[in-house]
Structures are given as C-alpha cells and as structure tokens.
Amino acid sequence: MDYKAIAILKALGKEELREFGKFVNSPYFVGNSSAARLYEELLKFHPEFSKEELTEEFLYCRVYPGMYFKKETVRKLFHALNSALEKFIAQKNFESKKFDFYDNLFDGYVRLNLHSLGEKCLDECNALLQESNALSSDYFLNGFKHSTNKASLFISSRPHSNGSAVNEMATALSERAHNLAGFFVKELSRSLDNLLSIDRNFDLRTERKRLDGLFDAVNMRELISYLKKECRNSTDAAMCEVYSSMYIAFIEFDNESHYKAYRKSIEKNTDLLSHNEARFHVLRLVRYCLLKCAGENRNAKFEQELFESINSS
C-alpha cells in the first residue's frame, strides 16, 4: 500500500506515536473515530508496515467488521488519517516555537479587542527575544514581527494626542524598519551565496541577473555601512561585520586579504552567532577555499586553509 500516512507513521518515534494516539482520538482536533481505529490497527504493524496480511481489505474488515469492502471508503479513511497526522505535526512544530505562539496569541487578543492581554503577549515576546539574542535565521524576522505588533497596538489602542504614546509608536516603527533592513541584507546575501554555489553546475543566468540587479539597485555596501552606524546592540554589529566581510570576500574574489578579514570576523563574533549561523559561515570559508584550489590557477596556500576550515566545521 502506497499511502502517505504510512510513510509518516514510519518516521514518528515511539513517544510521538503515543502522543498522536491521544491526538487522533480527540474530537476537537480530528472528530473521526474511524480514522482513530485505522491508526490503532496500523500501529500493530509498526515500524515496517510490511507484513503480507497488511492489505486494504484486512484494514477495512478491522475498522468496519461485517461490512462489504469498498476501496473508495479505504481511500477516504487514509485521507482522514493523513489529515490528522498533518495537523499533529503542525501542532507539535507550533508548540516548539514559543515566539510564534505568543505572536499568534497577540493577533487573537487584538482581534477580540483584548488589548491589555495583547500587551502581555508583547512582554513575553520581548523576553524571548532578549533571552535568545544570538544571530540566527529568526533574529531579524522575529524582531520585525514584534516591532510590527508593538506599532499596531499603539496605533489601535493609544490616544495619538499623548506625546509619550506617540514616541513609543515612532520607536516601534523605526525598529520595524531596522529589522526589515537587517533581514533583507542577511537573507539576500544568503540567497546570492546559495545561488553562486550551484551556478557552477547549472545555467542560472536569469536568476543571477535578477539577484545581481537587486544588489545593484539597493547598493548593498551602502546599506550595510548605514546599518553599522545604527547598530542597536552587539548582535546587530556582528551581523553587519560578518555579512559585509562575506559579501566583499566573494565579490572581490581576487583580493585574498578579504578572505582573511571574513575569517577574522567569524572568529571575533563566534559567541554572537547561533550554531547554525556559525556553521553556515564556516562552510562559506570552505567553499571559498575550494574555489581557490580549483582550476589552473590552483593556490596551494588555500589547501591548508581548506583543511583547517573543514576541521572547524
């Protein structure tokens, strides 16, 4: 049987299967007792689901004893189980992201005009941002969401004649723009770098032209230079320094001093980078060295650099 639900069940661990058993029996989340019975029967064949007796006819008879087999009913049953599994996975993923939980709860409270409770959600989000202030994929994105929510709350619930409230709203709007700019620099640089890494093997001229056009239109160097002057904290400064160094190292590839500057910027800011962020940049060093070691103009010096970079990753 080639059903997506079976592939998902194979991938779940014992604890997740136990939790899903409760989930699929919940009338709030699923409300389909037949899907729950199908899950209970399938669980008997976990983890391989490969025994000969595991057939659509067998499962149908177990879920609907005494009834004639209908293949279409089995398909609908597996569809219901698959929907339950997808809801379960999404719910588990959502629960693991505390910031997103309070961000969504804020939207719900504002929709209900419960602004004071919305403010408490903002406090929770702010505490989470302060608690995890290392540069990561979510650093600027979550900051953007948070400052957007702050500005939205001030606009909708505070009197605009109050000077203090207006200043808070202006600060939130300014932070929103700063986070958006930081996210733009970080992710656009990553997009170009990822594109360059596969450009050697595929014809990506159209995509390269689009990204190169964005870089030219924005003047990335000037934008990063401006953000450096407006850094709010050491994490902002780390992003500007590391991404500026990476950008220059690859754009001015022939100038090897830029490689040294890039490597130093990573080493200097290691404590301000998340594990995934640090690993990303170490792998960029590896790619730089590989490019230097390839082709007719092979640079022996970078073979040693490559060895050191691979070991550090």
pLDDT score at 47: 87
How far apart, in whole angstroms, are the C-alpha atoms of residue 99 and residue 92? 14
Q: Residue 212: pLDDT above 70?
A: yes
pLDDT score at 61: 94
Cβ(263)–Cβ(285) below 8 Å? yes
Cβ(281)–Cβ(273) below 8 Å? yes
DSSP E strands, 54-108: none
Q: What is the pLDDT of residues 142-191, one digit of tens each?
A: 999 999 999 999 888 876 667 777 888 899 999 999 999 999 999 888 88
Q: What is the pLDDT of residues 179-197, one digit of tens each?
A: 999 999 998 888 877 776 6
- Is residue 219 very low, low, confident or very high in pLDDT (cuts 50, 70, 90)? confident
**Amino acid at the residue 59:** L
Burial of 301 (0-12, 13-18, 19+ CB in 10 A): exposed
Query: Is the entire prediction scored with pTM above 0.75?
Result: yes
Q: CA dihedral in degrees (12, 13, 19, 24; nearest 10)? A: 30
Using the structure block, give the residue that is written with the tokens 């804020």. 106
**Would you state the structure tokens that stand for residue 96, as one six-digit string?**
């693991």
Phi first, then psi: give them for residue 273, nearest 5 degrees: -110, 140
If one counts every other C-beta atom within 10 angstroms of the C-beta of residue 10, the result is 11
- Is residue 297 very low, low, confident or very high in pLDDT (cuts 50, 70, 90)? low
73 CB contacts (<8 Å, ≥6 apart)?
A: 60, 64
